[in-house]
Structure 1
Amino acid sequence: MDHNLEKLKEHKIIGRLVDWKRLEDILNNHDITLLDILGKGHRGVVFKGVYNNREVAIKVPRVDAKNTIYQEGCILKEVNALNIGPKLYTFSRDFLIMEYIEGITLKNYISRGDINKEEYLNIVKEVLKQCVRLDIHGIDHGEIQGGKHIVISGSPIKVYIIDFGSAKIGRTPRNFTSAVSLFFGKSYIANRTCEILGVTEIELERIREFVRNYKRYIVKK
């Protein structure tokens, strides 16, 4: 077995959440070298690895949770067609292999002291555009509002919405309204957004009115 895999098995938390025998089979069958643990969610554990000479993220189901990996793969395939999310390479019921996005979350980005107003405005616009595309195609991410699934990467900057593990096709999409609440509601990110962009109370009320109209349109669809 790969030395890294043996080491990762000993991780205090992750070690109990993964079917290591199944993971070893996946790595061998797809010629993947495991590098590190990226994190865990409610239903999956994500590792960093190398596949076909490129760095990738490998997601496998937690042994103590419902397996939604295949459904997530199907949705990621759909959103890739909309130019959203990390690129999907391959998936099955037991794993997802996708593009590794190196960057920082929106929350960490916005916590920095010196932020260029124009750059940040472009980030906000890109998130909102992606959310509208998801809404139009009836795909609800489900976890936009917290901001931890929005990643800022590269130079020039690219914006990624990641982790579609809670996404659904068919329920009323709330991506755009959740994103507006994230940026212009009552949270740390919203306060920083208004500070960086110089948003006034009058402008906030216009945004709220627009969102009310948008909600009526989406519900009618």
Structure 2
Amino acid sequence: MKFDDIKHKIQELEIVGKGWRGVVYKGIYNGKKLAFKVASKKEFIPNIKKEGKILKAVNKKGIGGKLILEGDDFIAYEFIEADPLIKVINRENGKIIISQLLKQARTLDKLGINKEEFHRPYKNVLIDKNLKVYLIDFERARQGKNIQNVNQLIQFIITKGHEYLPEFDKEKLIELAKIYKKEKTDENFKKILDILEIKD
């Protein structure tokens, strides 16, 4: 089944984003509001399929938009009613948001999936009205070794994210990040949470 085969059945269809490899639509299909990511060219179909496979894995841990449909040249997941991180995060809610980001980054580390974009999470993280965090756009994600989600997020915290958090010892956080990079244990991750005064 290709996207063109079901396009006429989707109500209120509109384009909400365009990327290098795909176009993102939103619309109502079988009574559900979905986001459809469609390969822009035939050669990008494997990228879309890979994203679907990764979404399946992360959905099991409550991460990402829930995958509903996989076609020959598209994937469809529940449309998330939320705003990009950059529009929402501030001093008042920063700790709540960054806490969730760290825990989701840790889960991805454990799954052996590298999202690749935690050092600049402004556009590929959505926040809903209840301040729940959703990771989107797993197009560049990969499975394998050298997984760096938590460390990339700490890079963001050191350079920019600290503006949204209570004061902490940056040098100590950098030191703890180096330790975690070598040994990605629960104990070493908890030390990172502790220095940022985030509950486990």
What is the aligned-residue RMSD (CA, Å)? 1.8
The runs of 5 or more residues in structure 2 that have no matched partner are 185-200
* Separation in structure 2 between the aligned mates of residue 182 and residue 64 of structure 1, nearest angstrom: 35
Is the 8 Å Cα contact of residues 96 and 131 (structure 2) preserved in structure 1? no
Return the match for 1:83 from 50, 55, 62.
62
Identity of aligned residues (%): 35
Q: Does 1:141 align with 2:107?
A: no
Q: For residues 42 and 172 of structure 1, what CA distance do their matches in structure 2 show?
A: 25
Deviations 1:166-217 (A, max 9, x none): 11111321111111111222xxxx1xx32332324xx111111110001111
Matching of residue 121 in structure 1 with residue 87 in structure 2: no
Bigger radius of gyration:
1
Which stretch of structure 1 is more off in the superposition, 122-131 or 36-45? 36-45
Measure the CA separation in 2 of the matches of 1:194 and 1:88: 33
Alignment-derived partner of residue 144 in structure 2: 170
Paired residues in the alignment total 181
Cα offset, 1:52, TM superposition: 2.2
Deviation string, structure 1 residues 21-49 (Cα, Å, up to 9, x no partner)? x5331324xx3224211101221110011
Measured against aligned partners, the alpha-carbon deviations of 1:72-113 in whole angstroms (never above 9, x if no partner) come to: 101100000011000110113311110111222112223xxx
Query: SS of 2:108's equivalent?
Result: helix
Which consecutive unaligned segments of at least 5 residues does structure 1 have? 1-21
| Residue 197 (structure 1) aligns with | 165
CA distance in 1, matches of 2:33, 2:182: 43
Q: For 2:152 and 2:43, locate their aligned partners in 1 and report how far apart those are by CA, in whole Å.
A: 26
> 1:52 is matched with which residue?
30
Q: Which has the higher contact order (CA 8 A, sep 6+)?
A: 2
Cα distance, 1:140 vs structure 2: 0.7
Assess if the C-alpha contact under 8 Å between 2:3 and 2:71 holds in 1. no
Letter in 2 for 1:139: I
One of 150, 156, 174 as aligned partner of 1:208: 174
8 Å CA contact 1:73–1:92 kept in 2: the answer is: no
